[in-house]
Amino acid sequence: MRPQTSNTPARPHVVILGGGFAGLQAARALARDPVDVTVIDRRNHHLFQPLLYQVATAALNPGDIATPIRSVLRDQRNARTLLAEATHIDLGARVVQLHDGAIGYDYLVVATGATHSYLGQDQWAAVAPGLKTVEDALDMRRRILLAFEDAERAEDVQTRSALLTFVVVGAGPTGVELAGALAEIGRFTLARDFRSFDPRGLRVVLVEGGNRLLTAMSETLSAAAERQLTDLGVEVRKSAKVTDIDEHGVTFADGSRLASRTVLWAAGVQASPLGVCLSAPTDRAGRVHVEPDLSLAGHPEAFVAGDLMHAPAGEGIVPGVAPAAIQSGQHVALAIRARMAGRPTAPFVYRDKGSLATIGRAAAVGSLAGFEVRGFLAWWLWWIVHIAYLIGFRNRLSVMIGWAWQYFAFRRGARLITGRALRRSPSLPPGRPSQS
Amino acid sequence: MRPQTSNTPARPHVVILGGGFAGLQAARALARDPVDVTVIDRRNHHLFQPLLYQVATAALNPGDIATPIRSVLRDQRNARTLLAEATHIDLGARVVQLHDGAIGYDYLVVATGATHSYLGQDQWAAVAPGLKTVEDALDMRRRILLAFEDAERAEDVQTRSALLTFVVVGAGPTGVELAGALAEIGRFTLARDFRSFDPRGLRVVLVEGGNRLLTAMSETLSAAAERQLTDLGVEVRKSAKVTDIDEHGVTFADGSRLASRTVLWAAGVQASPLGVCLSAPTDRAGRVHVEPDLSLAGHPEAFVAGDLMHAPAGEGIVPGVAPAAIQSGQHVALAIRARMAGRPTAPFVYRDKGSLATIGRAAAVGSLAGFEVRGFLAWWLWWIVHIAYLIGFRNRLSVMIGWAWQYFAFRRGARLITGRALRRSPSLPPGRPSQS
């Protein structure tokens, strides 16, 4: 059976672009409504991005944190999933152009999210990968593990120390979590794996342009996070502006230079390019300004949800976090239901359930329901909250095992280098592992 | 601490090329000997190849069946691991050339294995991928899952049926296991996932040039395997010679044509190219003829183990299976120990512990300790044997979960399409999923 579409007037056709938290939530909330839902994503999987850094740091398999969108919606008979890339939206004609076709809609939900931004320095992308997709995470993992492999074979001290220096740019949740995980890889995971150097000598530098970490959280929590990172051996550099990045290291505004073969990018936000098709003003990050009910001005049938939307919340805007995406997806479903019934729509109100950032194996900082938490308790809360969010029983179980294993054995379960396994770096000494 | 090498005469330097079953077994067997062991592999991981088809068919994550060589040897203090590619072997100088250096040895173990061969038709590699590496498996998985995605969007019946026809060439264990798993994907896993077609209509064709399946096993077992596959809905074509493969299907010697968008290659064996450096005769598949003790004629310090060796066994040769690789690695370690002690070496004797091939979710055929088994019992035996072989607790557990999950829920846990997520196939109709 194939859902009906816009030219069969009986059931309105709801097209949802993006199978992230916002899009999937909107789709599921419409399960019992007399509509045909089509979820379109250029990936076949829903990705649990809050845990992506665990894939990048070889603690989890990609399969642990991703679920096929198709199987999430398998039993929702009024929904279908299409693997396709939306290239343009014609609000007037109510048609979405795909990379190889087109699809009409009666109601549209644009939830194509955001990615990281290099703040105008796109050439940095090649040397300082960001973390948004499974491929990003596997690329980061490969770079991190290869740096250790190359260090095992490096002959001179300078090369080795550059290979064992990891720089994380940006001290938001992702940057903090990456830095913490990296510090532990050296301290525990790989401690006995190498022969020609001691991985505990690894250096992790967390670089932040602002004057504190986790600016979305309170100053107390920022300070706690910094303390916990320092305890793990992470060097925290605040108010440090990066002016250049190349394959040999990072240059700062004060002219100083940090030699590193592995720079990881965890800064900047750039909304999905589809936002520009929506005939609405966008903010500096490309997020789309929406009406109070998350629809587009002049287009009551089109909505924006998730990281792509620019919606006021208190004195700021709704943050680009999973709970906000889920809430907005839910709200859009209600708004569509109201429109179909000819009822007025309610304005979207974001409820901040709090946020948590984990720091290494056994610490975290955050606020939940108004209470500030830190340390081991926070870590357990973080753990429970994230597991609870995960879609799909198997993933939950397998992630729990991954973590338990990593926690009790200080080992990383998924230390696979895939893709280009060997890096032929000209700047490495002619690797002569033995004196033969 | 760094192991000493050939120019420190105190401890002989044993260089092992290849971190597969043979190489790792040899390395571990030398753990307590007064030698320095260097294991060299171009991959950072040991791969449990007997389960690779489960990754290709989206039942397992790559991380479930691969373990970093470095962590397997982490506690063996006389061993180190190098991520490097051996490009040439100079038996006279006792030096192995690496892609970016060289390493000398006193004793050499060449265990670089074999891959599949296209029997002279290398152009088929692009349209009919084989299954030897993690990347191969992920590529196969992507092709299989994308065929279903494209079928969901295909408009005409012919295109859809070609997309839903999967051809497996070669009915050895890999081909049989692939065919069985594919048949079940359609019957159970994806049964409710699609809207515009019924995945149970999927067609799996297993093509074998010979007149029976699993030629390494008895005729009774071949017949049993064929029956079990047929019960799963697999079409078995024996004595069918493939003369051409392109992206639209397969052509047979009798001129008949089979339209298929997904052809998987499970035939042919081609030994590692390093074999030609070993100044010993090789067989048609490139396997190296060895002395009874697995050393090279005229080079008592150099040995060949695993799939790369051509060693007589009964009226045939030692088969290219994991148990044989493990036994040969063990034997080579003993032979090196004997050489060091000036004792004569024993000839290698392969002990056939039997073999098993699984067929789908709950059947298998094989022989163990002289007994022939089939059906559900065989499947459990297969399951236990393979779990028992797996290196690394976490992998075992996670594989068990993957299987349990797949077995009880008929679902595939690892249905991720990574890499190029969208296939822009010109031969697909301009995908217009709706009549808009």
* Cβ distance of A418 and B149 shorter than 8 Å: no
pLDDT for B195: 87
Contact A75, A52 (CB under 8 A): no
Which residues of chain A, if any, have pLDDT below 50? 1-8, 393-394, 409-410, 421, 424-436
* Cβ distance of A2 and B422 shorter than 8 Å: no
pLDDT for B435: 33
Query: Cα–chain-centroid distance for residue B313?
Result: 22
* Cβ distance of B195 and A2 shorter than 8 Å: yes
B95, B193, B433: residue with CB nearest A71: B193
Residues of chain A with Cβ-Cβ distance to B2 below 8 Å are 195-196
The nearest CA of chain A is from the CA of B389 a distance in Å of 17
B99, B401, B411: residue with CB nearest A424: B99
Residues of chain A with Cβ-Cβ distance to B66 below 8 Å are 416
d(CA B245, CA B129): 11
Residues of chain B with Cβ-Cβ distance to A153 below 8 Å are 82-84, 101
* Cβ distance of B45 and A415 shorter than 8 Å: yes
* Cβ distance of B434 and A5 shorter than 8 Å: yes
pTM here is: 0.81
Q: Residue B316: CA atoms inside 13 Å, Cβ hemisphere, count?
A: 7
A and B: number of Cβ contacts within 8 A: 221
Residues of chain A with Cβ-Cβ distance to B68 below 8 Å are 193, 415-416
Which residues of chain B, if any, have pLDDT below 50? 1-8, 393-394, 409-410, 421, 424-436
Q: Give the residues across from B415 on adjacent strands.
A: none
For residues A138, A141, A145 and A147, what is the CA-based torsion angle, rounded to 10 degrees? 110
Quickly list DSSP for B317-359. E--SSHHHHHHHHHHHHHHHHHHHTTPPPPPP-----EEEEEE
* Cβ distance of B84 and A2 shorter than 8 Å: no
Among chain B residues, CA nearest to A425: B100
pLDDT for A182: 93
* Helices of type H across A308-354: 322-341
pLDDT for B198: 86
- Which residue type sits at A414? A
- Smallest CA-to-CA distance from B108 within B350, B283, B332 is with B332
Burial (0-12, 13-18, 19+ Cβ within 10 Å), A245: buried
* Cβ distance of B416 and A192 shorter than 8 Å: no
For residues B173, B178, B184 and B186, what is the CA-based torsion angle, rounded to 10 degrees? -160
d(CA A345, CA A337): 9
ipTM exceeding cut-off 0.85 for this assembly: no
CA distances from B162 to A160, B201, B249, B258 (A): 53, 11, 8, 9
Which residues make Cβ contacts (< 8 Å) with residue B25, sequence separation at least 6? B325, B326, B329, B330, B333
Could you list the active site residues of A? 177
Among chain B residues, CA nearest to A9: B436
The DSSP H or E segment spanning A24 is helix A21-29
pLDDT for B187: 79
B13, B402, B433: residue with CB nearest A82: B433
